[in-house]
A and B are shown apart, each in its own frame.
Chain A
Amino acid sequence: GAGVSQSPRYKVAKRGQDVALRCDPISGHVSLFWYQQALGQGPEFLTYFQNEAQLDKSGLPSDRFFAERPEGSVSTLKIQRTQQEDSAVYLCASSFYQGANGYEQYFGPGTRLTVT
């Protein structure tokens, strides 16, 4: 079956613009994660959904970051008033449920956001 998909793959935004990044998880996966990966760094956790419920948003760096998953499948990460420090690759990952398959998460290809 299809893996995790993300769109757009690349996004260039001018400072101050709002952006929306989309994630389509693997069908049937209950858990969905967003990570931010700065250049040359490992991914860092942003937020976690179980179905449509956002159970952990402790990694969101500011109130300019907002994520939703209204129907428990597709998720959108929105960044308002983008700043240069928001430039990074945003990775989405999904898993069937907590603990399933040894906690393995399946990653999408990421969206590279560049803020100019």
Chain B
Amino acid sequence: AQTVTQSQPEMSVQEAETVTLSCTYDTSESDYYLFWYKQPPSRQMILVIRQEAYKQQNATENRFSVNFQKAAKSFSLKISDSQLGDAAMYFCACVLSGAGSYQLTFGKGTKLSVIP
């Protein structure tokens, strides 16, 4: 079974600055996907960014990028030019792409505050 660990329960960032959220994971499988999900106070979980484990190139989506270190099993999220709307809970998650139920395994989350 895979595990996902987020060691930062809370983080804060000044508006327009850059922040990095940490995530480590553990799995014995070689084929998997990693995700960062955002959950605003309204609770609807929204996908921020996705990384395929077989790809060496780090994923980027506009102001969001990841630093994927497969050997270290590390998957951090960098948010550039932080905006007030970025304030939310951020969850790191993993899914195995082999046979199975394709369930997401989540970390405990990091609460991000954006200071105006």
When distances are taken between beta carbons in the complex, the residues of chain B under 8 Å from A95 are 102
How far does the Cβ of A113 sit from chain B's closest Cβ, in whole Å?
13
Complex alpha-carbon distance, A45 and B4, angstroms? 13
Give me 16 other A-B pairs in contact (C-beta within 8 A), A41-B108, A48-B101, A103-B33 excluded.
A41-B109, A42-B91, A42-B106, A42-B108, A43-B104, A44-B106, A45-B101, A45-B104, A48-B102, A56-B100, A91-B45, A93-B104, A102-B33, A103-B50, A104-B47, A109-B42
User: At the interface, yes or no: A98 with Cβ under 8 Å from chain B?
Assistant: yes
User: At the interface, yes or no: B67 with Cβ under 8 Å from chain A?
Assistant: no
1/0 contact trace for B89-107 toward A, CB 8 Å? 0010101010011111111
Complex alpha-carbon distance, A108 and B45, angstroms? 7
Complex alpha-carbon distance, A58 and B101, angstroms? 10
| Contact-residue size bin, chain B (C-beta under 8 Å from the other chain) | 20 to 34
Contact flag A31-B102 (CB < 8 Å), given A41-B109, A102-B33, A102-B52: yes
User: At the interface, yes or no: A110 with Cβ under 8 Å from chain B?
Assistant: yes
Partner of B102, one of A41, A42, A98: A98
User: At the interface, yes or no: B44 with Cβ under 8 Å from chain A?
Assistant: yes
- Which of the listed residues B43, B47, B91 has the most CB atoms from chain A within 10 Å of its own CB? B43
When distances are taken between beta carbons in the complex, the residues of chain B under 8 Å from A98 are 102
Whether the Cβ atoms of B43 and A43 lie closer than 8 Å is: no
1/0 contact trace for A43-70 toward B, CB 8 Å? 1110010000001101100000000000
| Contact-residue size bin, chain A (C-beta under 8 Å from the other chain) | 20 to 34
Interface residues of A in 88-116 (CB under 8 A from B): 89, 91, 93, 95, 98-99, 102-105, 107-110
When distances are taken between beta carbons in the complex, the residues of chain B under 8 Å from A45 are 101, 103-105
Whether the Cβ atoms of B50 and A56 lie closer than 8 Å is: no
When distances are taken between beta carbons in the complex, the residues of chain B under 8 Å from A107 are 37, 44-46
Q: Can you name the residue of chain A whose Cβ is closest to the Cβ of B111? A: A40
Q: Can you name the residue of chain B whose Cβ is closest to the Cβ of A46? A: B103
How far does the Cβ of B2 sit from chain A's closest Cβ, in whole Å?
11
How far does the Cβ of A90 sit from chain B's closest Cβ, in whole Å?
11
Whether the Cβ atoms of A103 and B109 lie closer than 8 Å is: no
When distances are taken between beta carbons in the complex, the residues of chain A under 8 Å from B42 are 109
